[in-house]
Each structure stands twice: as structure tokens, then as C-alpha cells.
Amino acid sequence: MKKEIKKIALLTGGGDCSGLNAVIRAVVKAAILKYNYEVIGFMGGYHGLYTDDYIKMDLKTVAGIFHQGGTILKMSNKDNLFNYKTVDENGKTVYKDVSDIAIKNLKKHNIDALIIIGGDGTLTSARDFARKGVNVIGIPKTIDNDVPATEITFGYRTALDHIMLSLDALHTTAYSHDRVMILEVMGRNAGWLALEGGIAGSADVILIPEIPYDINSVAKTIFDRYNRGSKFSIICISEGAKPIDGDVTIKKIDKDSPDSVKLGGVGDILAAQLEKIVKPVTGQDIRVTNLGYIQRGGVTNTFDRVLGTKYGSHAVDMIDRNEFGRMVVIRNNHMESVRLEEVVGSGRTGQTSTGGARIVNPHGDLVNSAKDIGISFGD
């Protein structure tokens, strides 16, 4: 029998991206205006669910947030309630399952369904709550756009805009000084951000994890351009890119994060290599910019505002239809859903460094088009 829904809750978990507020706004508006549900939001992801830190959400709470990056509900990627870090009476760090406390809080507030917006770590816990009987709907988020079950995630296109504008800006200064400019971008083990951002920003070389690069091939592209009279070159490199004979560059290991391996710094390594090969021949300086967290913030663009609205309103329709234990996806530009059991865990929604994420096809149309217009992948 269909469950009557009166009150729902939502939370945002993991790392942020642009478009989260658009989803939150859509959930709250659709829940109130279409279904007359009551809505509360837990603060700081699962931490708020555990500590019962929440806000009542109404139309006023979500007024004026549509265009803003970040999330008004805040978020954390360190609060796995099934393996929660606490300190025991002897001051020793211990991990324990505190999920029952979270479920008690949901019961206390008479929550009929919980919308969880997050990456693989967050949605893995969503699946685990569903296994314990909580009526859960997952919404995937990542700027990396590597979730296999869905065509596109919100935040990705806004991040691409940042990359494109940064490459535009780097062009003018590269030209003025006859320099080689390297822009390192995010994306973990998927090269979508560097690939599409690099094409849009007119990069001469794009280096992505899916195509390990040969440093001599990268240098050859720079030399060819120099000899043709283009005395500057622009390289867009993924944080997960690696040389043919090497591995990814790890910035740090964060044991408290479900995605403990933090990538970063490959741009500097590439610069050091090119200093040795290119500079002695052409005299060009090599400079590196790491775009970093700028890619996750700023004003949400048109596409992500619309996409976030679609994800959010669809999740509320799923609650009405009692389609629980599922994640919202978009296929052929149509909103659908898949079972959380099928898509989370082992990095399959693309939020961990393990396999399973939707990655770039090195022989696909996008790479081929880029190659057709002379962009080098260092292969």
C-alpha cells in the first residue's frame, strides 16, 4: 500500500559543487507547493543527522539561493555514521556504528522520507540506511561528471566555465611573455573536466588520466608551435594525469575521508620536466596555475540551475510514488532512477579513487575531434 507522506528531510554530504542550492530549492519548493509536505534540512551532512542539528525549511529558507554555489545546509565528507570516529574514555580514537542514533532522530521528527545529495561515500551510507528500512532517495553530485548511471551531474558545466575562462585569461599573458602555461584542473581519475574545458578554452595540449602522456611528445607539440611562430603554448592537465612510465601524483592521504587519496601537483611535475627539455631550446618560461577549489564554487550557470531543478523536483515525485532506495539519474535527457544497490560502493558513482567511474574513451568522438584540430594528448 502506498505510504502517505507528510514530512520529509534532506541533507547534503561529501564535497560541494555548484548547483547544490538549486537542488535544495527545487526539493523544498516542489515538496511544499506540489505536495504540501513539511520539510526539514539536516546541517553539515550526516553529522547533523547524528547530532540532530536541523533547520525547518520553507519557501523563505530557499529564497535567493538559486544562483549561489555551495550549500546552505553545509556538508562534510568525514561523517560515516556506520563507522563513526569518536574518542573513548581513555582518549583513544575508536570507530563505531552510530546509525541507530540517526534513525532515532528521523523517527523523533516523524520523517517519512529522506533525500540524500552526495557522492559515492555519502550514497553508500544512503544505501545502508535504506537497508535498515529508512525511505531514502539519493541524488548524485560531482563536478567530475564521472557517475556511470547518469549522463551528466550538476556542477560539472559550471566547473567547465571556470576552466574555459581561466584558459582564456592564461592565453593573453602567455602570448605577452612567450610562455608555456599549464593549468591543472580537478576530476580525480576521469579526464572530462580537462578534456571539455581544454577544448572550450582552446588548449594546445590536454593531458588526461585515460591517456598517459609521453613528455617528449608534449615537448614536440610546443616546439612545433614555436617553429610555426606561435611562441606560447597552453596545456590543460587533469589532476589524475600520469606519464606513460609513471603513476598519479598524490598530494596527501586524508585517512578520515572516504576518498583518502587526494590528487594534486602533477602540473608542477610537468613544469619541472618541461623546464629541462623546452627551456634550453626555446628559452620559454614555464608557469603553472592550479585552479583548485574555484572549480567547485561561484555563480551556478544556466545549465546547472536547470539540471539541479530537474534532479530536485524528480526526487520529490519519487517520494510521492514511494520509489525508495533509488538514485535519480538522467538518461537521453529524461529523468529516471536506478537502485542504490546497483550503483554505489567501490567508487561506482565516481567519488572514490577506485575503479568503476565513467571515464573518457581515449578513442571516442570527443578525443578524436580534439585531435582533428591539432590538440595534442601527449600520446
C-alpha cell at 21: 542550492
Residues that bind ligand F6P (CB under 6 A): 15, 77, 142-144, 186-188, 239, 257, 262-263, 296, 351
Residue 283: other Cβ atoms inside 10 A: 10
The question of whether 144 is a catalytic residue gets the answer: yes
Task: Identify which of residues 28 and 167 has a Cβ nearer to ligand F6P in the complex.
Answer: 167
In the complex, least distance from residue 257 CB atom to ligand F6P, rounded to whole angstroms: 6
Helix (H) or strand (E) holding 154, with range, is: none
Catalytic, out of 16, 112, 144, 304 = 144
Full DSSP string of 162-192: HHHHHHHHHHHHHHHHT-EEEEEE--TT--H
Task: Identify which of residues 186 and 328 has a Cβ nearer to ligand F6P in the complex.
Answer: 186
- Give the CB-nearest residue to ligand F6P: 186
Task: Identify which of residues 254 and 342 has a Cβ nearer to ligand F6P in the complex.
Answer: 254
Q: Is 146 exposed, middle or buried (0-12, 13-18, 19+ CB in 10 A)?
A: buried
- Reported residue count of the chain is 379
Contacts of 235 (CB under 8 A, 6+ apart): 180, 181, 182, 183, 203, 204, 205, 206, 207, 218, 270
C-alpha cell at 162: 571556470
Task: Identify which of residues 183 and 219 has a Cβ nearer to ligand F6P in the complex.
Answer: 183
In the complex, least distance from residue 190 CB atom to ligand F6P, rounded to whole angstroms: 9
Place of cell 550549500: 71
C-alpha cell at 275: 623546464
The three-class DSSP label of residue 207 is strand
In the complex, least distance from residue 239 CB atom to ligand F6P, rounded to whole angstroms: 6
In the complex, least distance from residue 16 CB atom to ligand F6P, rounded to whole angstroms: 8
In the complex, least distance from residue 260 CB atom to ligand F6P, rounded to whole angstroms: 9
Question: Which has the closest alpha carbon to 11: 125, 95, 144, 108?
Answer: 125
The answer for 49, left when phi > 0, alpha when psi is -120 to 50, beta otherwise, is alpha
In the complex, least distance from residue 373 CB atom to ligand F6P, rounded to whole angstroms: 26
Task: Identify which of residues 18 and 135 has a Cβ nearer to ligand F6P in the complex.
Answer: 18
Q: Which residues are catalytic?
A: 144
